[in-house]
Amino acid sequence: MSCYLKLEAILENPLRIFNIELEIQDINDNAPQFRREAIHLDISEATPKGERFSLSNAVDPDVRINSVKTYSLSESDHFNIEVQTGRDGSKFAELILIKNLDREKQAIHNLILTAIDGGTPARSGTVSIIVHVLDTNDNAPTFDKHNYSLKIMENSPIGERFSLSNAVDADVGINSVNTYRLSESEHFNIEVQTGREGSKFADLILTTTLDREQQAVHNLILTAVDGGTPARSGTASVIVRVLDTNDNAPKFDQPTYNIKIMENSPIGSLVVHLNATDLDEGSNSDLIYSYSLYTSEKTQETFNLNPSTGEITVKGVLNYEDFRIYDMEVIATDKGTNSLSGQCTIKIMVEDMNDNHPQISIKSFQSPVSEDIKLDTVIAVVSVSDKDSGDNGVVDLHIPDHMPFKLRESSDNYYELVVSEPLDREKVPEYDITFTVTDRGSPPLSDNETMTLELLDVNDNVPQFPQSFYTIRVMENNAPGALLSSLTAFDPDLHENQYLVYFILEKEIANTSMSMLFSINPENGNLYALKTFDYEIEKEFLFHIEARDSGSPPLSSNVTVHIIIVDQNDNAPVIVSPWRAHGSVVEEKIPRSTDKGSLVAKVIALDVDSVHNSRITYQFLQVTDANLFSLDQYNGEIRTMRMFSYRDPRHQQLVVVAKDNGQPALSATVTIKLSTVETAVKAYSDMTEVPLEYDIFSDLNLYLVIGLGSVSFLLLITILVTIVLKCQKPKASKTAPPCRNSVISERNSTIADSTLVSNDAYWYSLFLKREQPDSSVVLKLAFEGGLFSHVLVSIFVSTATKRAGSKF
pLDDT digits (tens, 9 = 90+) for 302-319: 899 898 999 999 988 888
Helix or strand holding residue 407 (H, E): strand 405-411
pLDDT digits (tens, 9 = 90+) for 99-148: 999 888 888 999 999 999 888 888 999 999 999 998 888 888 888 888 88
Instruction: Catalogue all structural domains in the chain, each as residue range(s) with its CATH number.
Output: 38-134 (2.60.40.60), 147-243 (2.60.40.60), 251-351 (2.60.40.60), 359-454 (2.60.40.60), 469-566 (2.60.40.60), 574-683 (2.60.40.60), 700-804 (no CATH)
**HSE (side-chain half, CA atoms, 13 Å) at 564:** 5
pTM above 0.85, yes or no: no
pLDDT at 91: 86
Q: Name the percent of the chain lying above pLDDT 90.
A: 19
pLDDT digits (tens, 9 = 90+) for 542-587: 999 999 988 878 889 999 999 998 888 888 888 888 877 655 577 8
pLDDT at 97: 93
pLDDT at 736: 35
d(CA 597, CA 591): 13
Residue 281 CA: distances (Å) to CA of 244, 247, 248? 7, 11, 10
d(CA 752, CA 757): 13
Which whole number is the average pLDDT over 733-747? Answer: 34
Is the N-terminal amide bond of 230 cis, ω within 30° of 0? yes
Residue among 582, 567, 671 at smallest CA distance from 615: 567
Between these two residues, 526 and 515, which has the higher pLDDT value? 526
Please say if the pLDDT value at position 746 is more than 60.
no
Q: Name the percent of the chain lying above pLDDT 70.
A: 85
Which whole number is the average pLDDT over 726-752? Answer: 39
Q: φ, ψ for residue 248 (rounded to 5)? A: -120, 120
Which DSSP category does 797 fall into? Answer: H
pLDDT at 111: 92
Please say if the pLDDT value at position 786 is more than 50.
no
Which DSSP category does 511 fall into? Answer: T
Residue among 747, 749, 753, 750 at smallest CA distance from 780: 747
Q: How remote is the C-alpha of 647 from its chain's centroid?
A: 55
pLDDT at 700: 53
The residues with which 686 forms a beta bridge, in sequence order, are none
Between these two residues, 413 and 389, which has the higher pLDDT value? 413
Judge whether 714 and 788 are in contact, CB under 8 Å.
yes
pLDDT digits (tens, 9 = 90+) for 251-268: 898 889 999 998 888 999
Q: What's the angle, vertex CA 271, arms to CA 269 and CA 272, rounded to 5?
A: 130
Which whole number is the average pLDDT over 433-457? Answer: 87
pLDDT at 748: 35
pLDDT, the chain, mean: 80
pLDDT at 779: 38
Among 15-19, 343-347, 595-599, 726-730, name the one with the lowest average pLDDT.
726-730
Please say if the pLDDT value at position 149 is more than 70.
yes
pLDDT at 273: 92
Q: Which segments of 728-774 does DSSP mark as H helices, in order?
A: 740-753, 756-769
Which whole number is the average pLDDT over 516-544? Answer: 89
Which whole number is the average pLDDT over 476-491? Answer: 89
pLDDT at 380: 92
pLDDT at 386: 85
Between these two residues, 792 and 587, which has the higher pLDDT value? 587
User: DSSP for 40-78?
Assistant: EEEEETTPPTT-EEE-PPPB-SS-GGGSEEEEEE---SS
